[in-house]
Amino acid sequence: MRKSLTALALCFAVAGLAAPAHAQLTGTLQKIKDSGAITVGHRESSVPFSYLDANQKPIGYAMDLCAKVVDAIKAELKLPSLQVNYQPVTSQNRIPLMQNGTIDLECGSTTNSVARQQQVGFSVAYFVTSVRLAVRKDSGVKDIGDLDGKPVVTTTGTTSDQLIKMNEKGKTIDVRNIYGKDHADSFLMVESGRAAAFVMDDILLAGLIASSKNPAGFDIVGPSLRDEPYAVMMRKDDAPFKALVDKTLTGLMKSGEAEKLYTKWFMNPIPPRNVNLNFPMSAAVKAAFQHPTDKGVE
C-alpha cells in the first residue's frame, strides 16, 4: 500500500512539474494554439516585400521570411497542420488590426519607429531603406527644394508623410501634401502628373518604377530624408512570441539563408512581370544581418 501511495505521489509530482511548462504558453502563442490558426497580415502593393502576384496570392521577400517564422511556430506548438490565414492590410489599418487581434504577424514594409513601439512590437530588422523622392524625368524636380508650390504625394499613414512635413519647416518651400490610399495609388498620381513627387522608401519606389509601363520615364532623386528599418510587426509586450520570431530571423541571417532570399527578390526577375529591381544589398542591410537589432528609428 505504501509503495502504491508513493508511486501515486510521484505521478502527481511529475504532473505538477509539467504543469508550469504548459502555463508558460501565453499571449499570441496561446491564441494560435487555442484556435489552431495564425493570421498573417500582408500588403497588396509593397514590391518586393509583400504584394499580390497574377493569381492574387501574397508573395515577396517579407512573406518568405514570415513563412519561415510560421514554420518555427508550427514546430514550437507541435501543430504541423496549423492553418495559415492571410489578411490584407494598409498603412492606415495595420496597427489597429494588430491591436484588436485580427492579425498575429504583419509582414510587409513597416518601419520600426520609437513612436510605433508605444502601440505594437517589432522583430529585429530584415531591411533598411532610405526615404527619397520618385519623380517623372520630365518634371524638372531634382531635389526637395524644387517642390516649392507643387503637390507632393505620400501614402496615408506612412512615416514619409511626417518626414516631408519636417523637411518643409524652416525652408523656403511650401508643398501641397496629397495622399494616396496605398503605394500603387500614390505612384499613379506621379505617373499621371497629378503630383510632382512621391515621397517614399527608395526600394518601394524602385519596385513601383520597375513595374510601371515606362520605367525609363522616372527617377529617384534627392538626398535621403532618413534611413528606416523594416521589421515584422506583432503585438506589444509579448516576450515569448517575439523571442521565437527574433530567433528565427536571426538564424536565417546568420546561416546565409536571408541573403539568398534577398538575392531572389532584389537581384533576379520577379513575378508577375519578371522585372529585375537590380537593387544590391546596401551597407546598412549588411550591418543589420551581421548585428541583428530591434532598435527603432526616432
Q: How much is the pLDDT for 2?
A: 46
Work out the mean pLDDT of the chain and round it to a whole number: 89
Q: How much is the pLDDT for 172?
A: 58
Average pLDDT, stretch 89-95? Answer: 94
Q: How much is the pLDDT for 22?
A: 45
Average pLDDT, stretch 25-43? Answer: 96
How sure is the predictor about 224, in pLDDT bands with cuts at 50, 70 and 90?
confident
Q: How much is the pLDDT for 13?
A: 45
Average pLDDT, stretch 102-117? Answer: 96
How sure is the predictor about 147, in pLDDT bands with cuts at 50, 70 and 90?
confident
Whether 64 shows a pLDDT value over 70: the answer reads: yes
Contact 98, 233 (CB under 8 A): yes
Whether 19 shows a pLDDT value over 60: the answer reads: no
How sure is the predictor about 119, in pLDDT bands with cuts at 50, 70 and 90?
very high
Sort 177 into a burial class: Cβ within 10 Å, 0-12 / 13-18 / 19+.
middle
Average pLDDT, stretch 179-195? Answer: 94
Contact 197, 141 (CB under 8 A): yes
Q: In the chain, what are the domains?
A: 25-128+228-290 (3.40.190.10), 130-226 (3.40.190.10)
Percent of the chain with pLDDT over 70: 89
Buried b (16+ CB within 10 A) or exposed e, 137-151: eebebeebebbeebb
Whether 20 shows a pLDDT value over 50: the answer reads: no
Q: Which range among 6-15, 148-157, 227-236, 288-297 shows the weakest confidence by mean pLDDT?
A: 6-15
How sure is the predictor about 168, in pLDDT bands with cuts at 50, 70 and 90?
low
Q: How much is the pLDDT for 244?
A: 98
Residue 137 DSSP class: G
CA distance 87 to 108: 12
Percent of the chain with pLDDT over 90: 67
Which grid coordinates belong to 21? Answer: 511548462
Residues contacting residue 81 through CB under 8 Å, at least 6 positions apart: none
Whether 110 shows a pLDDT value over 60: the answer reads: yes
Sort 236 into a burial class: Cβ within 10 Å, 0-12 / 13-18 / 19+.
middle
Q: Which range among 3-7, 41-45, 233-237 shows the weakest confidence by mean pLDDT?
A: 3-7
Average pLDDT, stretch 227-234? Answer: 95
Average pLDDT, stretch 74-86? Answer: 98
Q: How much is the pLDDT for 17?
A: 44
Short-list 261, 198, 227, CA closest to 49: 261
> 58-59 and 50-52 as β-strands: parallel, antiparallel, unpaired?
antiparallel
Average pLDDT, stretch 90-117? Answer: 96
Residue 217 DSSP class: G
Whether 170 shows a pLDDT value over 70: the answer reads: no
Report which of residues 79 and 5 the model is more confident about. Answer: 79
CA distance 232 to 245: 8
How sure is the predictor about 6, in pLDDT bands with cuts at 50, 70 and 90?
very low
Average pLDDT, stretch 274-280? Answer: 89
Q: How much is the pLDDT for 9?
A: 46
Report which of residues 235 and 130 the model is more confident about. Answer: 235
